[in-house]
Amino acid sequence: MECVILAGGMGTRLRSVVSELPKCMAPVAGKPFLHYIVETLGAFGFDHIIFSLGYKHECIEEWIGELQASGACRALPKLDYVVETEPLGTGGGVRYAFSKAREESVFVLNGDTFFDVDFMEMMELHNASRAMATVALKPMRDFERYGTVGLGDDGIHVTEFREKQHCEAGLINGGVYLIRRSALDALPQKFSMEKDFFEKVVGGGRIAGYVSDGYFIDIGIPEDYARAQEDFASGVYKRYDTLFLDRDGVINVQIVGDYVRRPEQLRFIDGALEALALLAPLFARIVVVTNQRGVTKGLMSEADLEDVHSHMLSAVEAAGGRIDRIYCCTGMDCSDPRRKPNIGMFEEARADWPQMDLPRCFMVGDQPSDMEFAERAGLVGIPVSSRYTLLDFARELISH
């Protein structure tokens, strides 16, 4: 899949809190807002992103160059950009960027808006409707900042775009589009996507609407920019909440009849590092919950276990993944509340992150005790084996 990101906005309304930066580069939870968009697109299967640049394009070009020079770029799509020498409007910028696209239909996103949609499902609706363009629509209540979008009786085709006014409930344009490249061929070099394209061709089944109630934020005003700081720091914007992972048999190869006592004994299961890189953008947090009786048996020390985990974390991070915390139970007694299938380690994690949303949490393990742990904690249990690995799970989540 291909995507154009409109990244030339001046951020006039944000000048009081962010100066001398395009809106999409405004720092959010320590990273440019654009980072979260690109990371998410990469996680959901996009292989080509084209940035439409204008105002202060040099800082975005520099950021793209840093990404391409870093190891993280291995997990990202191909990154291209075009630079407007004069303002072309939102539509003109998209059409210019389309010159670098290959596919018949290309996604278009606003660089100052994050909207979690199912891109594959949106594409399926777009193709089935045979529309010139499909607009992602967000249901909202009690608002006046946005105009609303009307759908026909079929619930698919857009019938009108209404002006901004106070609205008790309605669908807004979420700033994610899927457009057939040929649909813009007859338009001039400079034009507005909203006024000169969407509003002029609406009706007759030419524009489809894809409704999604996923996370949405537009950082264009200081109030929402402030809210983004908290949402993106806590991972609220991500599609899933917490991923609990067993260690031996899920991340690394289990040593039958023994324990991984030293870093050099840790051997990752094929695909595990790739899986963790794919899962990182999908989950607010990823934690390991592992029983390690080898310490209490005297076969290894706590320091040995820490060395093993330090080695594991370094390798995961180098591969583009992450593990946010490791909870270990070294006790031997099955009555130990922390020893799986007892849920003491889960309760510790829940205390650390009290905002945890259980319906969006998973537990991946290779033992019956892991699945019992999941059931007791109210998590979705995912059993893995040599036939269904952590990598299979990651790919399934992305394609879902």
Instruction: Provide DSSP, 164-182.
Output: P--EEEEEEEEEEEEEEGG
Q: Give the rounded distance of the alpha carbon of 294 from its chain centre.
A: 37
Strands in 105-110's sheet, in edge-to-edge order, are 78-83, 48-53, 2-6, 105-110, 167-180, 133-143, 207-211
Alpha-carbon distance 372 to 367, whole Å?
9
Active site residue 246: yes
Beta-carbon count within 10 A of 183 CB = 18
Choosing from 241, 248, 366, 370, the catalytic residue is: 248
Using alpha carbons, select from 212, 42, 242, 34 the residue that is nearest to residue 121: 212
Q: Quick check: 126 and 105 in contact, CB under 8 A?
A: yes
Length of the chain: 400
Answer positive or negative: Cα dihedral of 164, 221, 213, 2.
positive
Alpha-carbon distance 245 to 340, whole Å?
12
Q: Output DSSP code: residue 221.
A: S
Q: Give the rounded distance of the alpha carbon of 93 from its chain centre.
A: 25
Choosing from 112, 116, 241, 246, the catalytic residue is: 246
Which CA distances in Å does 176 have to 16, 79, 117, 216? 27, 19, 8, 11
End-to-end CA distance of the chain: 15
Q: Quick check: 74 and 107 in contact, CB under 8 A?
A: no
Alpha-carbon distance 61 to 112, whole Å?
17
SS3 183: helix
Alpha-carbon distance 171 to 133, whole Å?
17
Could you tell me whether strands 158-161 and 48-53 are parallel, antiparallel, or unpaired per DSSP bridges?
A: unpaired
Residue 168 phi/psi, 5° resolution?
A: -70, -40
Could you tell me whether strands 283-291 and 325-329 are parallel, antiparallel, or unpaired per DSSP bridges?
A: parallel
Q: Output DSSP code: residue 189.
A: S
User: Which residues have a catalytic role annotated?
Assistant: 246, 248
